[in-house]
Structure 1
Amino acid sequence: MDDNTTTPVTVLGLGLMGRALAGAFLKAGHPTTVWNRTAGKADRLVAEGARSAPTVGDAVEPGRLAVICVTDYRAVREALGAADVKLDGTTLINLTSGDSGQARETARWAEARGARYLDGAIMAIPSTIGTPDAVILQSGTRSDFDAHASALGALGTVTYLGADHGLASLYDVSGLAMMWSVLNAWLQGTALLRTAGVDAAAYAPFAQQIAAGVATWLPGYAEQIDRGSFPAEVSSLETDVRAMAHLIEESEAAGVGTELPRLIKAMADRAIAAGHGKEQYPVLIEEFGKPGAR
């Protein structure tokens, strides 16, 4: 592992997140070169000590660590595919948002040009970059990660996921699934309670308590999924589906939308029809794992 906190770093892409990344490297003492299509976005970083490169080829030097945060994977390959860009011996750390297929394809593309490649995801907002609250996910060859883990630590809490370059993207979207599901469930409950004059602020602490409690179930439920065995230790799916029906009925009576609870109940109904009614809720993994209708 490289423990030299003065490792030279290049940051390609100076949107809000890219500027935050470059700023964190500068603050940690890394000589930092930056590049952006619109050069003016580098002015503040240059005032803080960064070097602004006129081209990507000038910014990406052999043996240097280059962190990429641009609009999409197409922009990554357009920037790095320029004639003057030499990737031999360069380590590319791509923090651009995309999907796992794009990550794997870009890894092959970069490695064919002599670069080492790590793909990543940023689970944070720009203002938290450089603090432990910023979670930076990384996937790719372990030795490449170990070589630069110290430098990456300037950005936040860095987590290595495995050799598959697509894992960071998969974790990213899986985290988004959790985020949106929790928020949507809270909004459904908030909409219901507002019909009785309860405001969102009053409901939020109770909702937090419920969400935290449900989160404690996940390790045990994960064991059931990994074993493929779903004994009803808490309640059966048949019991749960009756509660789902109550939620739908209550929502209808209150004049609140039922699209979300009906979707979940439909999945549970299919699982029960397939003979899983006596099993516990995680058995729905079988429904979630099926291809959706197109």
Structure 2
Amino acid sequence: MTTHTNPATVTVIGLGAMGRALAGAFLDAGHRTTVWNRSPGKGEELVARGAVRAASAEEAVRASELVVVCVVDHEASRQILAPLTDALAGRALVDLTSDTPDRVRASAAWAEAHSLDYLAGAIMVPIEVVGGPEALIFYSGSRSAYDRHEAVLKALGANVPFLGPEHALAAAYDMAMLDFFYGSMAGLVHAFALAGAESIPAAAIAPYLRTIVDILPPIVAGTAVDIDAKRYDGAGANLAMMTAGVDHVLHAAAGRGLDTSHLEAIKAVSDRAVAKGHGADSWASTVEALRG
């Protein structure tokens, strides 16, 4: 945590679990923090720590040079902000609400129509990590807002890359990374279910899954290079062989009465890639089937 000798004025709109974590991180860094939430009864602990509770959204916006929004989605964000364009003028608006790239583009178009300095962001860590050195938060959109407030935004986490002027970039990174996360979590839980169907406790197999986890970093890096280059060398492990492996897991799970829908989806994609002539290529070639 870095405490600033020249604290900024920051407003946080939205006091769900993540919004409270953001406001808490600003307070920890010594910034003068104003908070507001649509429904009452949230943020008492922040006020006890020195935050100012605004009586209205407009009062909250006018209190600070930097306004941070974190609500359920961009529709909710725009509903709150739409009446406040006059109050937002001359301030930096940072929207850390998670949503799809297209919805972020709609918010950016609204902000541009009202000449607002708008920076979109995506928080890539759970609330427990916010404010710490491992926190990763992407930003895209207004470079001027980012440059002016980068030091303040680092109160939320040390890793705050600016991805570019296209506002939806942060959301696009967010969706891609969550795609990987949720797919990985689904695979993990299904693996435990399959082990359990053979009377193997999850805790017994968990240490050995580290073998899979440890080989992922070079696989991630190599697959990224291969997909960008459209080069799918399958000399080490080809798609036809790995598709057969998926089929084995699918039948083992089906034989134990487990849900196999995600395995069927994986096999359907790999089958399409093989049918397109990628049987001798690497697993990275399945991207061609995903692209239709």
TM-score where L is the length of structure 2: 0.91
What is the CA–CA distance in structure 2 between the aligned matches of 1:35 and 1:253, rounded to whole Å? 53
Stretch of structure 1 that moved more, 70-79 or 248-257: 248-257
Query: Which residue in the other structure is 1:87 paired with?
Result: 88
Opposite residue 68 of structure 1, the aligned amino acid is V
Distance 1:48 1:286, change over 3 A: same
Could you list the per-position Cα deviations for residues 127-154 of structure 1 after superposition, in whole angstroms to 9, with x for gaps in the alignment? 3221123321211133321211110111
Could you list the per-position Cα deviations for residues 162-199 of structure 1 after superposition, in whole angstroms to 9, with x for gaps in the alignment? 22111111121212211121122222322222232210
Opposite residue 36 of structure 1, the aligned amino acid is N
Query: Which residue in the other structure is 1:21 paired with?
Result: 22
Deviation at 1:268, TM superposition (A): 1.2
The residue correspondences of 1:91-240 to structure 2 (distance < 5 A) are: 91-156=92-157, 157-240=159-242
CA RMSD in angstroms, aligned pairs only: 2.0
What is the CA–CA distance in structure 2 between the aligned matches of 1:51 and 1:203, rounded to whole Å? 49
- Give the secondary-structure state (helix, strand or coil) at the position aligned to 2:119: strand
What is the CA–CA distance in structure 1 between the aligned matches of 2:174 and 2:41, rounded to whole Å? 31
- Give the secondary-structure state (helix, strand or coil) at the position aligned to 1:20: helix
Query: Which residue in the other structure is 1:59 paired with?
Result: 60
- Give the secondary-structure state (helix, strand or coil) at the position aligned to 1:214: helix
- Give the secondary-structure state (helix, strand or coil) at the position aligned to 1:153: helix
Opposite residue 124 of structure 1, the aligned amino acid is V
- Give the secondary-structure state (helix, strand or coil) at the position aligned to 1:117: strand
Percent of counterpart pairs with the same letter? 39
Opposite residue 186 of structure 2, the aligned amino acid is N
Q: Could you tell me which runs of 5 or more consecutive residues in structure 1 were left unpaired when the two chains were aligned.
A: none
What is the CA–CA distance in structure 2 between the aligned matches of 1:128 and 1:11, rounded to whole Å? 18
Matched, 1:288 2:279: no
Deviation at 1:63, TM superposition (A): 7.4
What is the CA–CA distance in structure 1 between the aligned matches of 2:173 and 2:155, rounded to whole Å? 21
Structure 1's consecutive aligned runs of 4 or more residues displaced over 4 angstroms after TM superposition are none
TM-score where L is the length of structure 1: 0.90
Deviation at 1:159, TM superposition (A): 2.4
Query: Which residue in the other structure is 2:257 paired with?
Result: 255
Tell me if structure 2 keeps the 8 A contact 1:87–1:113. Answer: no
Could you list the per-position Cα deviations for residues 40-78 of structure 1 after superposition, in whole angstroms to 9, with x for gaps in the alignment? 424332222122221222221397110001222122222
Distance 1:247 1:40, change over 3 A: closer
What is the CA–CA distance in structure 2 between the aligned matches of 1:93 and 1:57, rounded to whole Å? 16
Distance 1:5 1:278, change over 3 A: farther
The number of aligned residues is 288
